[in-house]
């Protein structure tokens, strides 16, 4: 679930293979976004122009909220890529994502192309070493920060 900063919109994803953009004032569905499997991750851009939705079978999309149309499909490499977190840059040009497999990635929201990829530090007392990326953030200066299940926060520069 994602809520717009002004509280007017909510984005939800579910087991019915859809993500929904809701008007929180009257409960009306504004847009329904189709997927091929359960929608696991959603995010809204701060100014409400874009949405991100992702399922567990490579379906990861950027949606234009002015018309409900798909703007981009993320160029995901893994066969069953899942995302555990997602956050738009304030300018809407970049999306940062985290995965259950220690990866942090950035994406071009216009084309869906991968812009960068980093691997977070792992929790060493697990076999294999693991860390779920629970949250990501991106600053206007291009710094990416992640927080993981290993209890570690890390930062990378995208430039």
Q: What is the mean pLDDT of residues 130-143?
A: 89
The residue assigned the tokens 């293979």 is 17
3-state class (DSSP) for residue 150: coil
- Indicate the burial class of 95 (C-beta count within 10 angstroms; 0-12, 13-18, 19 or more): buried
Residue-wise pLDDT for 51-106, tens only, equals 999 998 889 999 999 999 999 999 887 766 789 999 999 999 999 999 998 899 99
Assigned token pair, 23: 């008007």
Domains in the chain, CATH or no CATH each: 2-157 (2.130.10.10)
Predicted confidence (pLDDT) at residue 43 exceeds the cutoff of 90: yes
pLDDT at 86: 97
pLDDT of residue 59: 92
Mind giving me the DSSP string for 49-105? SEEEEEESSS-EEEEETTTTEEEEE----STT---SEEEE-TTSSEEEEE-TTSEEE
Percent of the chain, pLDDT > 70?
A: 94
CA nearest to 109, candidates 25, 39, 49: 49
- Split at pLDDT 50, 70, 90, the class of 45 is very high
pLDDT > 90: percent of the chain: 72
pLDDT at residue number 128? 62
Neighbours of 55 (CB within 10 A): 24
Assess whether pLDDT exceeds 70 at residue 113.
Answer: yes
Mean pLDDT of the chain: 92
Instruction: Report whether pLDDT(149) > 90.
Output: no
């Amino acid at each position: 679930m994602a809520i717009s900063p002004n509280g007017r919109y909510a984005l939800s994803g579910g087991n019915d293979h859809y993500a929904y953009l809701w008007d929180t004032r009257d409960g009306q569905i504004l847009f329904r976004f189709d997927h091929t499997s359960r929608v696991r991750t959603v995010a809204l851009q701060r100014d409400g122009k874009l949405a991100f939705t992702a399922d567990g079978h490579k379906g990861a999309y950027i949606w234009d909220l002015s018309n409900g149309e798909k703007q981009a499909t993320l160029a995901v490499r893994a066969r069953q890529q899942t995302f555990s977190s997602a956050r738009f840059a304030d300018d809407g040009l970049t999306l940062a994502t985290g995965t259950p497999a220690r990866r942090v990635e950035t994406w071009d929201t216009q084309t869906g192309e991968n812009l960068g990829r980093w691997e977070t530090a792992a929790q060493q007392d697990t076999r294999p070493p693991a860390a779920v990326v629970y949250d990501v953030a991106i600053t206007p200066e291009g710094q990416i920060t992640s927080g993981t299940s290993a209890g570690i926060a890390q930062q990378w520069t995208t430039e």
